[in-house]
Amino acid sequence: MLLYARRQGRIRIARPGMVLMRAVISGSMAVCVFYALSRLPMSTAYSVQFSGPLFAAGLSTVVLGERVGWRRWIGIAVGFAGILIILRPGVTDFNSGYLASLAVAVLFACNAMILRTVGGGEPGGALVAAHVIGILGFSLPMLPSVYIEPDWPDLGWMFVTGLLMSSGHFFLVQALRWAPVSSVSAFQYTQLVWGLLFGVLLFDDFPDAMAVGGTVLVVGSAVYVGMAQPSSKTDEPVDI
């Protein structure tokens, strides 16, 4: 990504403080994600973490001055209702994994605010590089205590995973710079479907009817919020 940015002649970082903050947030998110997945079923962890777009849509009204509109607020409220159905406070056994997942959601919203704030002032490659460096910076100190030497097939999967994550995050950066946070964040809810699917296929983690119902509410509200008519002068795309 940095090589791409250099070829575009835009490697200069205009706001290093914001880029550094993004790296710290990204590293913290990675640690919380891994911890949550170690304490919760994949479907549950994903569902809680993806309340992040709801926080982002709400924060965008305060931090960025985006006018979400009453229709979108209804969609956000329905999404939160879906999250509560998944969590079922007072029914499920609450542990630190839920707190880690909620931390991921809040950190995601903060990251979205940073990306939208810097707009076209920073090269996309540098923003993605900050994300990767932040994850490495927070993860490497933990490596000695949990290190398992990977074989060649594992290394191949690691390479593919890194490539997919970097590419996906690059497109996310561009989307958040071109479109309202409330719209982009909402469409990320579709990842919940993939989280549930992979949980079933890879880990035999079958969600119950309540979890499926809550997820349907979350995804449905996300699509509605994303398709609702924007009503903000900040909705114009940012030149990149």
Digit-coded pLDDT (tens) for 10-34: 556 778 888 899 899 999 999 999 8
Note the pLDDT tens digit of each residue in 77-92. 888 888 788 777 655 6
Q: Is residue 230 part of a domain?
A: no
Kindly state whether residue 97 falls inside one of the protein's structural domains: yes
Higher pLDDT, 231 or 13: 13
Q: Please give the residue range of the domain that contains residue 113.
A: 2-142+180-225
Q: 74: exposed, middle or buried (C-beta count within 10 Å: 0-12, 13-18, 19+)?
A: middle
Instruction: For residue range 172-185, list pLDDT tens digits in order.
Output: 777 877 777 667 76
Q: Does 33 reside within a domain?
A: yes
pLDDT (0 to 100) of residue 36: 92
| Total number of domains in the chain | 1
Between the alpha carbon of residue 34 and those of residues 29, 30, 42, 180, 226, the distances in Å are 9, 6, 11, 29, 28
Summarize pLDDT for 23-73 with one digit per residue, the tens. 999 999 999 998 998 888 887 887 788 777 778 878 888 887 877 788 888
Distance CA 106, CA 16 (A): 22
Q: What is the mean pLDDT of the chain?
A: 78
Total residues found in the chain within this entry: 240
pLDDT of 218 = 76
Whether 154 maps to a domain, the answer reads no
CA–chain centroid gap for 107, Å, is 8
* pLDDT for residue 101 is more than 80: yes
The answer as to whether 155 is a domain residue is no
